[in-house]
Structure formats: structure tokens, C-alpha cells
Amino acid sequence: MTPAPNKGMTDLKIGIAAGVTSGLIALAFAIAGHVKLAVIMPVAAVFGLGFAAHPFVGVSALLFFAQLDGIQDKIFPGDGFKLMTLGTMVGVIVTAFRHRGMVKDALMQPIAIMGMLLGVSMLVSALGADSKVMAANSLRRLLAMIIFMYLIIIMVNTRARFEKALMILALTSLISGIILILDVKLGMTLISTSDAATTARTAEGFERSSGASQYNPTTAATMMLTGVIIALVMFLEQDKYKRFYLAAAGIGTMALIFSFARSSFIVYTVTGMFLAYRYRKHHLIVPAMVIGSMLVLIMLPFLPESYYERIGSIFGAGGGDWTLGRRMTYNVIGVNLLVEHPLFGVGPGNFKKHFVDSAYRFLPGRTMFGRQLHNMHLSIMVEYGLVGATFFYAMVISAFKGAFRVMREPVDANIGFLATAYMYGLMSYMMVSVFVPNEYNKYTWIMLGLGAALPRVNRKDVA
């Protein structure tokens, strides 16, 4: 019998390699006069080698920093996410040689196959775009997201890993929620540094916060909403980590209110109705409703008047909000472009170029600066055509079908809980994407990657 490899010796070799590599990198940058890089790059090299040796750790880090990219930028300024992705990809490639059957099985999932076809249709759409520069830039962003999705499909290959992935999404919503509440109460920005996150305000002039995200507050709220819904379902469904999930759901809910994101408010309310009906006989439903009502009453005096005006603007009260009319203009222009370019669309990122076309100059709310179409579902069709949209929605439908199948036929109660939490998280995310251009959001591809992993994990446990 062949002796098992000495894991301790392997880790020692990796540690020595990481130390030597980081030292050489530091020396090279110091000699070149780049003192800041001499400090940062060795640390990045150590993490990269660690992720190469343990790729699921790399995937976990990518999941963690997907929402908390403001924290990531303070630790690894610049392209930290790309460096972590590169290190993880190296580890996955090594894993592929050791476990070819595992990787082959992952890439044969319907979502993985549709993702490849979507990538091809993206390239075709880019070739026909009016602005090739815009198309190339958007294509690079989206291909990086799709690579992230494949890393998740390949490495989230056990029930324990799937549960850890959901816990990370709940944890990041908790962390970002705490920071968002502190931002609002202190009147300052603690973590975020991007213009999108630090210059946003409501139509009434109230400064908004993205928590620990570099996305704009509305987009950051969609990610937080997903983690909050997952935490809420996990709290109701299972007996483990109840305090953690209660804290993530409770603090996350408060943070969603303070985010001033109307889209997340609407979807949270709708999803809450679905959950209330599903768990109407649950032994915790009455205490949860009582505690929730008390928290709402306690919070009411602390909410600024502009919050009520902002929510009221959805229904035409509080003086209205001109940005709502502008969003309708986005959709009108989008439908017109889809009719004109039905098969492969206008090309990646090219809605911005067409938005400023003089043909639309009389539409209300149109500006002289290019804007994204604030509706992911229509945006996919407009920029990638009905061909690209077919592949994308085949992935979405497959994710929902897989979740429902596991909910109906779980190998045990625990994986049924995970499937339920994932399904409601996916449902809320897809609903809120009606109001946000989420095709460039990491969470879109995270949720699709987990959708491919879930049925595979369930089948693996059966085997």
C-alpha cells in the first residue's frame, strides 16, 4: 500500500516557499524604490500561495470580500480581488489534475454549460457594438465575474462547504450592516472610499451609506438584502447558530432601513409576506412578529423625516421623486433598443452610449451623461440580445429548479434547510434586480454558482 502523503511536510514546504517568495518580492520592490509595494506585494504573495494550496479558502475569501470590498481595499489596495482570484485559479488548476472527475462533473452542470454559451454570445454581441472600447471594458468585467462563478461551482462540492458559503453571505451582511448604521448615526464614512459610495444622497438631501461596500448604496443594499433573507430563513429552519443568524437578520434589517433603498424595502416586504405564509404554523412565528413589531416601533422616532418622504415617493406622496421618472425613461429607451437590435443586442456596456443619443433628448429625466439601464433583466436583453438572454435565463431557471428539487427531495433535513435559505435568497435577489443593473454585481454570479453546486452536493451525499 502506498503511504499517505505527509500533509504537515507539504504545508511546511508551502510555508517556506511563501516566505522566500515574499522576501524576494519585498527586496525587488524596495530596490526599485516602491516602498509601499514592497510592503503590500509580499503579503499578497503569501495569501496567493495559500489560496493556491487551499483553493476553497480562496473561494471563501472571495465570497467574504464580494460585499466587503471596502475592507478589502484597505487591506489590499488596488487589484486585491483579482490577485485573490488568480491565486485561487492556480489552486483549482492543480486540483483539476488531482481530481479530474470532480472538475468534469462540475463543468457538466447545466448552469456551467449555459455559462460557456453565454460567454460566446457576449463575444458576438461585442463584435457588433458601436463602441468597441465600451464593449471590451464591460466584457472584461463580466468574464471575470463568470470565472468567479466557475470557481464556486468547482470548489463548493460538499454540503459543509455550501453551508459555509451561506454563512459567509449572512456574516458579511451583518458586518456591513453594523458599519452602515454607524455611518448614518455618526454622520461620517468609516470604510467606503469610492465616489459611488461616498457621494450618494437622497432627493431630499440625506447622505446615504454603503456600509463596507464600494458599490453605490442601492446596489450595496441588494447584496445585504440577500444575506439578510438567508439569515432569516436559517434562523427559522434549523437549530444551529441561532444567535448568529438572529443577529444577522435583525441588524441587517435595521441597516436596510437606514440604507434608504426603496427597491430593497419593497422586495424585503414582499419576501417577508412569502415567509410569513410559509412559516405561519412555525412555533417561533408569533414571537418573531411581536419582536419585529416592537423593533419597528422603537426605531420609528430615530428615523429622519426624509425617510418617510422617500418611501412615500414610491406611491406619489411626499412631493414625489424625479429619479423615479428617470428610471422609467431607462426602460422606455431599453425596450426601443431591444426592438431595434433583437438578436445580439447593442453590445456590452453600450446602453450608456445609446442613452445620450439625440433621438431620446425629449424623454423626461434623460441626462447628457451615459447611464446604466437600472433593470438587470431588461439590460441583459438590451446589451446581449435575446440570444444572450436565453442562455442567462436558462441559468437562472436551472438554479430555481435545482433549489426546488432539493427542497422536495433532500437527502436529510439539514440540506433541505440550506436549499430553502438559498431559494429565498435567490428569489429576493432576482426580484430586486428589476430595479438595479446587477449584471455587473458579483452576487449575481455567486448565486448562480451556488445554484449549480446545490443539486450536485445533494446527489453526492446520496451517492
Kindly write down the DSSP assignment for every residue of 366-435, as one continuous string: --SS----S-HHHHHHHHHHHHHHHHHHHHHHHHHHHHHHHHHS-SSHHHHHHHHHHHHHHHHHHHHTTS
State the sign of the Cα–Cα–Cα–Cα dihedral 47, 50, 52, 55.
negative
pLDDT at 330: 81
pLDDT at 301: 62
pLDDT at 391: 96
Residue 235 lies in a domain: yes
pLDDT in tens, 245-277: 999 998 999 899 888 888 888 899 899 889 888
What confidence tier does 156 reach under pLDDT thresholds 50, 70, 90?
Answer: very high
| Count of CA atoms in the C-beta half-sphere (13 A) of 353 | 15
Residue 459 lies in a domain: no
CA angle 37, 39, 41 (to 5 degrees): 60
User: Distance between CA atoms of 257 and 266, rounded to whole angstroms?
Assistant: 11
Residue 297's CB: how many other CB atoms inside 10 A?
9
User: Distance between CA atoms of 343 and 387, rounded to whole angstroms?
Assistant: 6
The region of weakest confidence among 40-54, 167-181, 187-201 is: 40-54
Q: How buried is residue 112: exposed, middle or buried, by Cβ count under 10 Å (0-12/13-18/19+)?
A: buried
Give how far Cα 382 sits from Cα of 95, 293, 346, 402, 437, Å.
Answer: 38, 42, 6, 27, 12
Q: Which domain holds residue 223?
A: 167-319
Residue 94 predicted with pLDDT over 70: yes
pLDDT at 447: 97
- Check: CB of residue 48 under 8 Å from CB of residue 55: no
Residue 293 lies in a domain: yes
Q: What is the mean pLDDT of the chain?
A: 81
User: 207 has which bridge partners?
Assistant: 201
Please name the amino acid found at residue 355: F
Residue 209 lies in a domain: yes
Residue 286 lies in a domain: yes
Q: Which of 195, 192, 170, 171 is nearest to 180 (CA)?
A: 192
Task: Give the list of residues 6+ apart from residue 67 with CB closer than 8 angstroms, or none.
Answer: 169, 172, 173, 176, 211, 212, 213, 220, 223, 224, 227, 443
Alpha helices by DSSP H, listed for 284-372, are 285-299, 305-312, 322-340, 351-355
Give how far Cα 282 sits from Cα of 86, 335, 422, Å.
Answer: 45, 44, 19
Task: Give the list of residues 6+ apart from residue 169 with CB closer than 8 angstroms, or none.
Answer: 63, 67, 226, 227, 230, 425, 446
Q: Could you tell me how far CA 148 lies from the centroid of its own chain? A: 11
Residue 230 predicted with pLDDT over 90: yes
Please compute the mean of the pLDDT values over residues 174-180 and round it to a whole number. 95
The count of domains in the chain is 1
What confidence tier does 52 reach under pLDDT thresholds 50, 70, 90?
Answer: low
Cell numbers representing residue 220 in the block: 450595496
Residue 206 lies in a domain: yes
pLDDT at 170: 96
pLDDT in tens, 412-435: 888 999 999 999 999 999 999 998
pLDDT in tens, 269-324: 899 889 888 888 777 677 767 766 776 676 666 665 656 555 555 555 444 554 55
Mutual angle of helices 413-432 and 442-462, in 10-degree steps:
160
Residue 25 predicted with pLDDT over 50: no
Q: How does DSSP assign 117-138, residue by residue? A: HHHHHHHHHHHT-S-HHHHHHH
Residue 430 lies in a domain: no
What confidence tier does 38 reach under pLDDT thresholds 50, 70, 90?
Answer: very low
User: 201 has which bridge partners?
Assistant: 207
Residue 359 lies in a domain: no
